[in-house]
Amino acid sequence: MFIAFEGIDGCGKSTLLENLALKLSSASRSYVKTREPGGSSLGSLIRTELLSLKRTLTPQSELLLFLADRSQHVLELIRPGLAQNKVVLCDRYIASTLAYQRNSSGLSPDKLKELNQWATGELEPDLYIYIDLSAEQAQRRRAQMENDRMEAKGLAFQKEVRQHYLDLAQEKNWLSLDGQLSPTELCDQAWSHIQSMLP
C-alpha cells in the first residue's frame, strides 16, 4: 500500500507520518518512510538545491527538478518497497507539484498530471492523506522555524497552495483531516482509515 501525505508547510503531516509508522510497527506491518524532495541519493542533492535560499530558479527548472527527484525516487525506493509488500509512507508526492507549481509553471492541471505520469511511469498512491490548515495557522506554528526557499514565498503563496489542495482533495483516493485536531486525534482518524484499506 502506497500512502502519500500532503498539506501546506507547517500543517503537521510529518508528525502524522511518524505516528502512523509507530502504529504500523505495533501492528507488525513492515513499512518504508520516505519523502520528496529527497528519498533517493540523487534526490537529496536535488533537495538541497531546490530548497536553498541562495538559489534563484526559473519556474521551469523548479518543476523539472521536482520531477527528476520523483522519477528517481519511484525507481529506487517506492517501487522496490511496494514489491517487498511494505507499506510506503511518503511525505509529499505528485499532489505537491499540482498544488505548489500550479501557478508558477503556467501549465494546466492536465498537463502537470501528464508530466507526472511520464516521470513516475503512472504510479499513483493508493491513498493521499491531506491535513487541511489555514495558511495563517500554519504560519503561526512555524514562527520559530527558519524558512527554506519554498517557505520564503510567503503567506499569499501558501494560501494559493491550500486552495489547490482543497480542489484536489475532492478526488476519490483522498482522506482529508482537520489540521486543528491534536496529533493523537489525527493519527487515530488516519489509522482507522488505513486499517480499513489494508489487506
Q: What are phi and psi of 91, to 5 degrees?
A: -80, 100
CA distances from 149 to 16, 111, 115, 168 (A): 24, 25, 23, 24
Q: How far is the CB of 22 from ligand TYD (least distance, A)?
A: 19
From 97-105, 123-131, 163-171, 187-195, span contacting ligand TYD (CB under 6 A)? 97-105
Maximum Cα–Cα distance for the chain, whole Å? 46
128 binds ligand TYD (CB under 6 A): no
Q: Contact with ligand TYD (CB under 6 A): which of 73, 92, 102, 162? A: 92
Within residues 150-179, the interface with ligand TYD by CB under 6 A covers: 150-151
Within residues 54-73, the interface with ligand TYD by CB under 6 A covers: 66
6 binds ligand TYD (CB under 6 A): no
Q: What torsion, rounded to 10 degrees, do the Cα atoms 67, 69, 73, 74 define?
A: 10
Q: DSSP string of 93-142? A: -HHHHHHHSHHHH---HHHHHHHHHHHHTS---SEEEEEE--HHHHHHHT
For ligand TYD, the closer of residues 51 and 75 by Cβ is: 51
Q: How far is the CB of 153 from ligand TYD (least distance, A)?
A: 8
123 binds ligand TYD (CB under 6 A): no
The amino acid that residue 75 corresponds to is L
Interface ranges with ligand TYD (CB under 6 A):
9, 14, 35-37, 51, 66, 91-92, 96-97, 100-101, 148, 150-151
